Amino acid sequence: MAASTAAARPLADRLRPKTLSEVVGQTHLTGEGGILSRMLASKNLGSMIFWGPPGTGKTTVARLLANDSDYAFEQISAIFSGVADLKKVFESARMRRSNGKPTLLFVDEIHRFNRAQQDSFLPVMEDGTVVLVGATTENPSFELNAALLSRARVLTFKAHDAASLGALLDRAEEIENERLPLDDEARQVLLRLADGDGRAVLSLAEEIWRSAKPGELFDADALQTIVQRRAPVYDKGQDGHYNLISALHKSVRGSDPDAALYWLCRMLDAGEDPLYLGRRLVRMASEDIGLADPHALRVTLAAKDAYDYLGSPEGELALAEATVYLAAAPKSNAVYTAYKQAMRAAKAHGSLLPPRHILNAPTKLMKEEGYGSGYSYDHDQPDAFSGQTYFPDEMERETYYRPTRYGREEWIGERLQHLARLRAQRDRGD
């Protein structure tokens, strides 16, 4: 980096857009016809929640909206602010409003405010004291009050792709009047290391310029030595966690072992608890494979036990084995569907007693009441099948489990059809 810029403001700050049209990577919001462009054109801002990963321009866009609409810009962070701070901000906004100056209040990390603090925004939003723009990296549906969400429009900011990160690097090189000392492969690695974060790619670029000697060119290995490794954007208790486990589950359900392995490794690499993943694999075996391959449940339980026994990193291979097995196995959700239907029936029919012929009769009184009377011991019957009914007398026979034609369930289906024919014959007295 040139000596004249060594002590300058951070590169990300110097490259901060001055107009909405200069914002990179959010053209669905800021481009021609985008909702934010339309708001600016009308000079009539409404409260909004900006939802997206770090480094996607949420703060910058909020500031540009205020400047271009002639609103006073107030910024607070939910991490460092409390009720007293909010009251001061609201009072200042009221004073400006009385003088004809509206206020855009930008609240960073708004999901960090508790429910009561979030409620404090409602009156000042409703009476026009402030236009609220809250920024969050977490899913607003889970983290924000329904009342707050009903008064604000949620706009989604997208993580930067390689093209928009490359555009940011091009601008950085232009302002520095110097190319990054990276070969083509290293430049692509840098884009991946940034993990969709525009601020991060510029900070990494600064670090590279500071480290380079005159005429030096870094390859991919040298680059990673210089910048070390940036942790993946992943919070084990929040939205990233649920997105990745959903991707793993759906890849298994979709019979794609390669994609399933990728998402498993993404979560392991990010520090997810391997035993949590083992428990989820057990769930997938029951929900999505079921009796199409009864061994799937055994494989996943064995993988969980293997990890519990070996620990990391050896035990993680057992989880990978189970993941591939599940993805390649025949699929059936017939047991899962039957369970849900049976549960609904159990709730709907209440506390019906079993039919008397299958009730135990350990006392003389119970025998006199008919408990156990007429029960047929199946092992003593032809085909070891009595065909009796086991539903409550007040219920008609219902069918919940419908085997598929995949894997082991094809045989199970044929077996159940044979038993149904025998039951029908015996009902007719044949």
Domains of the chain, by residue range, sit at 26-156, 162-227, 239-328, 354-428
Query: How far apart are the C-alpha atoms of 265 and 258, rounded to whole Å?
Result: 11
Topology of domain 162-227, CATH: Helicase, Ruva Protein; domain 3 (1.10.8)
Q: What proportion of the chain, given as a percentage, has pLDDT over 70?
A: 95
Report the mean per-residue pLDDT for the chain: 89
What number of H helices and E strands is found in the chain?
A: 21, 5
Q: For 152-218, what is the HEC assignment?
A: CEEEECCCCCHHHHHHHHHHHHHHHCCCCCECHHHHHHHHHHHCCCHHHHHHHHHHHHHHCCCCCCE
Examine the pLDDT at 71 and tell me if it is beyond 90. yes
155 vs 145: CA distance, rounded Å = 16
Give the pLDDT confidence of 266-321 residue by residue, as tens digits.
999 887 889 999 999 999 999 999 999 999 999 999 999 999 889 888 899 999 99
Answer for the pair 234, 268: CB distance below 8 angstroms, yes or no.
Answer: no
- The span from the CA of 305 to the CA of 423, in Å, is 42
**SS3 assignment, position 151:** coil
Query: Are the C-beta atoms of residues 78 and 112 closer than 8 Å to each other?
Result: yes
Closest CA to 179 of 223, 201, 209, 203: 209
75: pLDDT strictly greater than 80: yes
182-239 per-position pLDDT tens digit: 999 889 889 888 888 999 899 999 999 988 888 889 988 888 888 875 555 566 556 6
Q: What is the pLDDT of residue 220?
A: 85
Q: What integer is the mean pLDDT of 112-130? A: 92
374-385 confidence digits (pLDDT tens): 899 999 988 899
Question: Rounded to two decimals, what is the model's pTM?
Answer: 0.64
pLDDT band at 81 (very low <50, low <70, confident <90, very high): confident
> Is 162-227's fold the same as 239-328's?
no
pLDDT at 235: 60
413 phi/psi in degrees, rounded to 5 = -60, -45
Contact indicator for 429, 393 with CB cutoff of 8 Å: no
For residue 3, pLDDT beyond 70:
no
pLDDT over 70 at 44, yes or no: yes
Give the pLDDT score at 234.
61
| pLDDT confidence bin for 425, thresholds 50/70/90 | confident
Degrees (nearest 5) of the Cα angle 418, 422, 427? 145
- Residue 349: its pLDDT value, please? 87
pLDDT of residue 5 exceeding 60, the answer is no
pLDDT of residue 4: 44
Q: Are 54 and 158 in contact (CB under 8 A)?
A: no
pLDDT-derived band at 101, boundaries 50, 70, 90 = very high
Top-level CATH class of 26-156? alpha beta
Q: Which CATH architecture has domain 239-328?
A: Up-down Bundle (1.20)
